[in-house]
Amino acid sequence: MNLKSLNIPNIDFVNRRHLAMMFSAVLLIASIVSLSVQGLKLGIDFTGGTLIELGYQQTADLEEIRGKLNETNYKGTNVQYFGSDTEVLIQLEPQQVSSAKLSSSIIHMLGENIDVRRVEFVGPKVGEELTNDGGLAMLYALIGILIYVAFRFEYRFALGSIAALVHDVIIVLGVFSALQIEFDLTVLAAILAVIGYSLNDTIVVFDRIRENFLSTRKVEPKPIINDALNQTLSRTIMTSLTTLLVLLALFYLGGEVIHSFAGALLIGVVIGTYSSIYVASSMILALGISKADMLPSEKESKEIDARP
């Protein structure tokens, strides 16, 4: 197929895969090191505790608020601005008193002219359950994808797609660990969404690779995979750009509540687009994919020929 006659780019992705693999290795090592040394800054969804969001009429003095809280017996307090210098977020570890009494006591101590935006309480047992369930949800998603892709394509494609998804998840977690951005349930939901988005991109590329294997006389996998990546490149770029425009709007205009959620998706879409081009295709090439693997078996050929 003449790619130039169809206005399809002719970028040599395959021969640049070694540089891409080195880049991925650096990102993965940095992410794993950060996760091992610093870990994730878990939100109260996973650690348990009480979260109180307050609105002030004027700029809030965080040092004064911390000083008043330190005078009490409340443990594990964290005070920070939340979106602007008139909005304050107070996080406390699980206390012996109820969340209603706790929030009333803190508001009374800080002053009456304060707008209470929200009060959230998560018990330590619930937080532990959410941590376990969240990890299992991610694991089940990856196992389900492995089975689905193995049945739809071939086991090499399944391993390639899982390698790309694990690559994406580790890097997103690594960025959150390195920057110490709070990791809560919304971020976990974003990571599961990233898995779905990245898989969709990878399946589109795999479909074209399989079609090219079956429709071309070429037998070398490198030019076949390279042609498939170039043929799907415009679709990949347009999908990613339109998704990024929406996520940028959410990130900058959506408010602090979904800031981490949008941030995780932004990182995931960029990394997922990259991995669907380089990581997944490089993996199936390394596993020795060939045209013979794409051809139907003798039994399947007879069934196809017998169809009306």
- CATH number of 54's domain: 3.30.70.3400
Are 260 and 179 within one domain?
yes
- 303 belongs to a structural domain: no
Domain match, 215 and 255 both: yes
Please report the pLDDT score of residue 175 as a whole number.
94
Q: Based on the structure, what is the number of domains in the chain?
A: 2
Domain boundary among 122, 145, 170: 122
Asked if residue 270 and residue 199 are part of one domain, the reply reads: yes
Q: Which helix (H) or strand (E) holds 303?
A: helix 298-306
Question: Which range marks the domain in which residue 102 is found?
Answer: 49-122
Q: Is residue 4 part of a domain?
A: no
The mean per-residue pLDDT over the stretch 89-116 comes to 71
Picking from 102, 122, 142, the residue at the C-terminal end of a domain is: 122
Are 42 and 76 a contacting pair, CB within 8 Å? no
Which residue matches tokens 């739809």? 152
List CB contacts of 304: < 8 A, sequence separation 6 or more: 296
Kindly report which listed range (27-31, 74-78, 200-204) carries the lowest average pLDDT score.
Answer: 74-78
Task: Give burial (CB, 10 Å; 0-12/13-18/19+) of 168.
Answer: buried
Measure the CA–CA gap between 52 and 108, rounded to whole angstroms: 13
236 and 215 both lie in a single domain:
yes
Q: Are residues 72 and 162 in the same domain?
A: no
* One domain, residues 191 and 64: no
Provide the CATH number for the domain around residue 266: 1.20.1640.10
Residue pLDDT, tens place only, 211-264:
888 887 766 888 888 888 888 888 888 989 999 999 999 898 877 778 889 999
Q: Which residue has better confidence, 173 or 1?
A: 173
Structure tokens at 54: 């307050």
Q: Do residues 25 and 104 both lie within one domain?
A: no
In a domain, 240, yes or no: yes
Residues 197 and 102 in one domain: no
Cβ 48 vs Cβ 94: under 8 Å:
yes
Nearest 5°: CA angle at 223, between 295 and 279?
90
Can you give the three-state secondary structure of 104-124, one letter per residue?
HHHHHHHCCCCEEEEEEEECH
Selection from 232, 304, 219, 236 nearest residue 274 by Cα: 236
Whether 304 is covered by a domain: the verdict is no
| Average pLDDT value for the chain | 80
Predicted confidence (pLDDT) per residue in 262-283, tens digit: 999 999 999 999 998 888 888 8
Domain annotation covers residue 111: yes
| CA-based nearest residue to 152, from 200, 115, 102, 198 | 200
Q: What is the pLDDT of residue 5?
A: 47
Q: Answer whether residue 288 shows pLDDT above 70.
A: yes
The stretches of 99-220 forming alpha helices (DSSP H) are: 99-110, 124-152, 155-179, 185-215
Q: Per-residue pLDDT averaged across 128-146, rounded?
A: 76
Secondary structure tally for the chain: helices H, strands E: 12, 6
| 50 contacts 91 by C-beta, under 8 angstroms | yes
CB 236, CB 273: distance < 8 Å: yes
Query: 204 near 232, Cβ under 8 Å?
Result: yes
Residues 187 and 236 in one domain: yes
Report which secondary-structure segment, H or E, holds 90.
strand 87-92
Q: Name the more confident of 146 and 173.
A: 173
Residue 172: pLDDT over 90: yes
Cα–Cα distance for residue pair 302/153, rounded to 1 Å:
19
Residue 3 belongs to a domain: no
15-57 pLDDT tens trace: 888 898 999 999 999 999 999 999 888 877 777 777 788 888 8
